[in-house]
């Protein structure tokens, strides 16, 4: 069998050797290339890191694309660190100032692959990294471990759920061990790589019905048996720490199936399932699933003998097709799924010409976000009897609301007719038309007012009062014009009014300009964005924690705290050591109860980055989050 990987001690030596920089070239811009390992099995992925060192304004490097590799960007981070390493008694100082870019490379074939050198433009110069070789080992023919990856339907419609299933079939143990669970006897759980069980690696346009935690956590093994999945719970190869990965152990089923010799043989089957919902039309590919580990294949002196095995499934493809044109009704609103419909009019009693409101609500499970309002103005019973206005649309949870304004045009209307709304039912694979119930209405004729009622605002029983404005057949202008009052323009009043308005406008402009200059001052803008920037870096640290890259976590935590302090005191962040941060905080009057935890946190981060600490990273993330909140509150008080 082919041996893959190295021990963690050897990986540290290789990593430190790559990081070593000679004093003669320490300050020259350079492009550093690091790779997780140089030999993997087909179907696996590796981490690939490109660092622009000693570059003030780095731009993202260019990676040469090819037909043999799929490249996925994982993120990037700023570097501002100094690291001391000792190899064979030789002390080296590694200084990194620049930016780091992380990628995942997935080989698309087996054999010897060449990863071309990346390039980056720095000013007028082009930096070039190194070419890396990668050996991809294909799976060997064997029948001890079978990996079967399947989908329940290969052609579906948007918002129609489909289910992916993975079955691991492991041949039962030989001899007296036949009743033992094959996944309970390994000293180390086999490693399973399945991108469809990773929320961050799902194809764009595919949504999981449940998160990977909800799917896998019920299968967690307290004893560490089962299989490792996507390195959950373990650290990255670039980290200086080595954690034991979490084991997931589904309840097995014992089956009989044929082996490579066409003999009926007992197998233990372990099944993983997950349901997905496509949100758009297109073709979606799910990568093959791989499993590698040591499995019992025989007995020696009545003792089980293990063999290193790598097994690979086939990939799965799903096509999400658009709804058919044939048979599409005019009342189709673009909704796909299964829905119900209800309608309502308010008020139900009105006069001709009075405003009314019609509300249609489509609710259920499926694609509703892009559903359009039904065109109902030309429907029989509505056209010519109601004046309809354009509808407004509102999305709600599992519902879509359409609101129309309308006015009745006739007094003989007794009901608002049924409104048809059509959608595509993905389960029945046909169009379905729903109808609202007819809504009874009471429409009366519009009230007609006499001339006397238009001219008088008094109630019918009010005492008659003389009025200077008399009704005449010729209209209002047939009255004496003197009764309308003096409408001559007073120029002195208008001049005073305009002078006041101009003076007020000038004063307000001066005040606004002053406020704008204060708010747009670079120092104030830097303080204003300090806290959001620190929270963003903490989020970046949390993402690296999920990937198991503990060193990157510590670098982000240190950068979040030092960046917050530097932004508030208007100081350059580069080179701020824990002692410098504590000193700056003391100078601006930050309380000791805040300064000390910040100093301790930064010391812990430095210790972990240099491999001399053993702090729990999850706890460190919580401490950093609280420290940033407390520090921000204290900095605001000191600023006031």
| Domain harbouring 422, CATH code | 2.60.40
pLDDT band at 462 (very low <50, low <70, confident <90, very high): very low
Least confident of 11-25, 326-340, 550-564, 565-579: 11-25
Residues 110 and 171 in one domain: no
Average pLDDT on 158-176 reads: 92
Query: What is the pLDDT at residue 611?
Result: 53
Residues 363 and 305 in one domain: no
Question: Can you tell me which residue has the tokens 């503990």?
Answer: 550
Residue 287 falls in which region: left (phi positive, over 0), alpha (psi -120 to 50) or beta: beta
Q: Is residue 329 part of a domain?
A: no
Residue 31 falls in which region: left (phi positive, over 0), alpha (psi -120 to 50) or beta: beta
Q: Is residue 285 part of a domain?
A: yes
Asked whether the predicted pLDDT for residue 267 surpasses 90, the reply is yes
Residues 45 and 122 in one domain: yes
* Boundary-marking domain end, from 137, 153, 171: 137
448 against 468, higher pLDDT? 448
85 against 448, higher pLDDT? 85
Q: Is residue 491 part of a domain?
A: no
Average pLDDT on 475-503 reads: 65
Least confident of 8-12, 243-247, 370-374: 8-12
- According to DSSP, residue 469 is labeled S
Least confident of 180-184, 323-327, 475-479: 475-479
Least confident of 100-109, 140-149, 563-572, 626-635: 563-572
Asked whether the predicted pLDDT for residue 16 surpasses 50, the reply is no
Asked whether the predicted pLDDT for residue 78 surpasses 50, the reply is yes
Nearest to 272 by CA among 250, 247, 246, 245: 250
Q: Which of the given ranges, 210-214, 482-486, 603-607, has the highest pLDDT on average?
A: 210-214
Average pLDDT, the chain: 82
| pTM (2 d.p.) | 0.52
Residues 151 and 124 in one domain: no
Query: What is the pLDDT at residue 518?
Result: 59
Residues 300 and 153 in one domain: yes
Query: What is the pLDDT at residue 488?
Result: 63
Sign of CA dihedral 329, 334, 340, 346: negative
- pLDDT tens, residue by residue, 179-203: 999 998 887 899 999 999 999 889 9
**Residue 99 belongs to what domain range?**
8-137
Q: Is residue 486 part of a domain?
A: no
Q: Is residue 571 part of a domain?
A: yes
**∠ CA 531-536-537, rounded to 5°:** 100
- From CA 419, how far away is CA 391, in angstroms rounded? 14
- Kindly report the number of other CB atoms within 10 A of residue 131's CB atom: 12
Query: What is the pLDDT at residue 253?
Result: 95
Residues 297 and 347 in one domain: no
pLDDT band at 450 (very low <50, low <70, confident <90, very high): low
* Boundary-marking domain end, from 110, 137, 164: 137
Q: Is residue 461 part of a domain?
A: no
Structure tokens at 293: 């580990």
Residues 167 and 35 in one domain: no
Q: Is residue 615 part of a domain?
A: yes
244 against 379, higher pLDDT? 379
* Boundary-marking domain end, from 411, 444, 477: 444
pLDDT band at 533 (very low <50, low <70, confident <90, very high): confident
Asked whether the predicted pLDDT for residue 291 surpasses 70, the reply is yes
Structure tokens at 94: 């590694």
Query: What is the pLDDT at residue 244?
Result: 59
Query: What is the pLDDT at residue 58?
Result: 84
- pLDDT tens, residue by residue, 213-265: 999 999 998 887 899 998 887 544 333 344 457 899 999 999 999 988 899 99
Residues 17 and 104 in one domain: yes
Residues 315 and 339 in one domain: no
Residues 266 and 133 in one domain: no
Contacts 24+ apart (CB under 8 A), 498-504: none
Helix locations, 469-549, DSSP H? 491-519, 522-528, 530-547
Q: For residue 399, how many C-alpha atoms fall within 13 Å in the half-sphere facing its CB?
A: 13
179 against 91, higher pLDDT? 179
Asked whether the predicted pLDDT for residue 9 surpasses 70, the reply is no
Asked whether the predicted pLDDT for residue 13 surpasses 60, the reply is no
Nearest to 532 by CA among 394, 462, 628, 417: 628
Residues 171 and 310 in one domain: yes
**∠ CA 145-151-156, rounded to 5°:** 170
Query: What is the pLDDT at residue 461?
Result: 52
Q: Is residue 214 part of a domain?
A: yes
CATH number at residue 632: 1.20.120
Residues 351 and 221 in one domain: no
Query: What is the pLDDT at residue 19?
Result: 42
Nearest to 251 by CA among 226, 223, 233, 230: 226
The three-state DSSP-derived secondary structure of 201-253 is HCCCCEEECCCHHHHHHHHECCCCCCEEECCCCCCCCCCCCCCCCCCECCCCE
Domain count of the fold of the chain: 4
Average pLDDT on 45-64 reads: 87
- From CA 580, how far away is CA 233, in angstroms rounded? 35
pLDDT band at 207 (very low <50, low <70, confident <90, very high): very high
Asked whether the predicted pLDDT for residue 150 surpasses 90, the reply is yes
CATH number at residue 104: 2.60.40.10
């Amino acid at each position: 069998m082919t041996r893959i990987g190295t021990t963690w001690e050897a990986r540290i030596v290789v990593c430190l050797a790559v990081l070593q920089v000679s004093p003669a070239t320490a300050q020259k811009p350079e492009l550093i290339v690091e790779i997780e390992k140089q030999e993997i099995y087909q179907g696996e992925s590796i981490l690939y890191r490109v660092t622009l060192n000693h570059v003030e304004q780095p731009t993202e490097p260019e990676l040469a694309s090819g037909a043999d590799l799929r490249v996925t960007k994982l993120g990037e981070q700023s570097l501002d660190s100094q690291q001391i390493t000792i190899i064979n008694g030789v002390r080296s100082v590694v200084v990194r100032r620049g930016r780091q870019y992380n990628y995942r490379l997935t080989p698309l074939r087996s054999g010897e692959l060449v990863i071309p050198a990346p390039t980056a433009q720095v000013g007028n110069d082009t930096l070039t990294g190194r070419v890396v070789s990668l050996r991809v080992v294909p799976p060997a023919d064997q029948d001890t471990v079978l990996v079967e990856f399947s989908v329940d339907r290969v052609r579906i419609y948007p918002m129609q759920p489909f289910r992916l299933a993975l079955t691991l079939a492991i041949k039962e143990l030989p001899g007296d061990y036949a009743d033992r669970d094959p996944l309970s006897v390994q000293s180390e759980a086999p490693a399973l790589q399945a991108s469809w069980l990773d929320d961050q690696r799902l194809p764009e346009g595919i949504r999981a019905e449940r998160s990977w935690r909800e799917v896998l956590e019920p299968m967690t093994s307290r004893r560490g048996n089962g299989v490792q999945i996507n390195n959950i719970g373990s650290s990255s190869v670039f980290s200086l720490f080595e954690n034991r990965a979490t084991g997931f152990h589904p309840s097995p089923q014992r089956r009989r199936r044929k082996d490579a010799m066409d003999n009926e043989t007992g197998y233990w089957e372990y099944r993983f399932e997950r349901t997905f919902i496509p949100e758009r039309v297109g073709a979606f590919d799910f990568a093959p699933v791989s499993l590698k580990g040591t499995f019992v294949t025989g007995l020696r002196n009545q003792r089980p003998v293990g063999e290193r095995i790598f097994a690979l499934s086939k990939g799965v493809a799903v096509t999400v097709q658009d709804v058919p044109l044939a048979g599409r009704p005019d009342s189709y609103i673009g909704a796909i799924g299964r829905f119900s419909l209800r309608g309502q009019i308010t008020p139900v009693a009105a006069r001709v010409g009075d405003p009314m409101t019609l509300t249609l609500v489509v609710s259920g499970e499926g694609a509703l976000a892009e559903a359009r309002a039904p065109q109902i103005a030309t429907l029989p019973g509505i056209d010519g009897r109601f004046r309809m206005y354009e509808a407004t649309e509102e999305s709600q949870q599992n519902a879509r609301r359409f609101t129309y304004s309308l006015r009745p045009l006739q007094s003989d209307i007794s009901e608002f007719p049924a409104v048809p709304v059509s959608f595509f039912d993905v389960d029945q694979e046909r169009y379905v038309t729903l109808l609202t119930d007819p809504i009874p209405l009471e429409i009366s004729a519009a009230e007609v007012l006499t001339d006397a009622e238009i001219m008088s605002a008094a109630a019918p029983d009010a005492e008659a009062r003389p009025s200077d404005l008399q009704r005449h057949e010729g209209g209002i202008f047939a009255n004496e014009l003197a009764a309308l009052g003096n409408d001559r323009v007073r120029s002195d009043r208008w001049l005073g009014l305009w002078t006041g308005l101009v003076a007020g406008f000038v004063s307000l402009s001066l005040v606004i300009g002053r406020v704008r200059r204060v708010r747009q001052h670079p120092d104030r803008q830097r303080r204003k964005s300090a806290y959001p920037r620190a929270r963003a870096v903490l989020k970046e640290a949390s993402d690296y924690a999920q990937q198991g890259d503990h060193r990157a976590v510590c670098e982000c935590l240190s950068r979040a705290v030092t960046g917050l302090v530097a932004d508030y005191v208007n100081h350059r962040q580069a080179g701020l050591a824990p002692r410098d941060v504590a000193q700056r905080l003391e100078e601006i009057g930050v309380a000791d109860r805040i300064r000390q935890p910040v100093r301790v946190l930064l010391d812990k981060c430095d210790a972990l980055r240099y491999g001399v600490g053993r702090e729990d990273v999850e706890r460190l993330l919580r401490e950093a989050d609280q420290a940033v909140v407390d520090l921000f509150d204290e900095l605001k008080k000191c600023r006031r």
